[in-house]
Structure 1
């Protein structure tokens, strides 16, 4: 649930920046402060699915972990204050796709949890 909140917060910071409600420095510092914890939480979630034997959910998490790793490896995970307006549309699309992906992952997790609880009752 926390990656959803962080994705939503980053998307809202970019939207506020686009409509000039917030300055670029504040927006970049807010976004950059939650990126590494988001990467860590997604990694822990993926590892937890792997250790618990939920192979399908683990396979759904792998593309996000790979994308996060590539962004971290290329040093593209931080938002630059001086280039934030040039990267605004791309960053908004990236954050929106990640938010949608996390929502789908949340619903799949809830579905599998309810499914397993109902299967245990029978």
Structure 2
């Protein structure tokens, strides 16, 4: 059962990393909106973390698949599908020339991602606590 707790801890920290990347993107968009940063810097900062976000989220989904956590894998699939769809349509990067026109849409996209990741994080914490309590019940 200690391995089960390790799996949930690893997935928890991976979700925290993805959350941090999405929050960083939102901060860059907010800085651009309030004119603290120029469009080129903002788009280059956002674009530098988009692909790592996609890769880490994909690895998290594969991790859930390989460890046999089917519910969490199925919960990760819509987010992963959305990322793959964005990548295939070449809409995953922020264009420096269109960033002001698409600012509201880009912020809303990341806010939805943030809400979805918070739900996944809550579920991960729930299953982590569940496995710890289950381990205590087995030990007694």
Normalised TM-score (structure 1):
0.98
1:78 is the counterpart of 2:93 = yes
Q: Which runs of 4+ in 1 moved over 3 A?
A: none
Provide structure 2 residue ranges, at least 5 long, that are not aligned to the other structure: 1-15
Query: Greater CA radius of gyration, 1 or 2?
Result: 2
In structure 1, the partner of 2:56 is 41
Structure 1 residues without counterparts, runs of 5 or longer: none
Q: What do residues 81-111 of structure 1 show as CA deviations (whole Å, max 9, x unaligned)? A: 0000011000000000101111111111011
Q: Deviations over 1:23-47 (max 9, x none)?
A: 0000000000000000000000000
Matched, 1:28 2:43: yes
Structure 2 CA distance, aligned partners of 1:74 and 1:90? Answer: 16
Q: Which residue of 2 aligns with 1:115?
A: 130
Alignment equivalent of 2:22, drawn from 7, 24, 30? 7
What is the root-mean-square deviation of aligned Cα atoms in Å? Answer: 0.6
Query: For the residues of structure 2 that align with 1:12 and 1:74, how far apart are their CA atoms?
Result: 25
Report how many residues are paired. Answer: 122
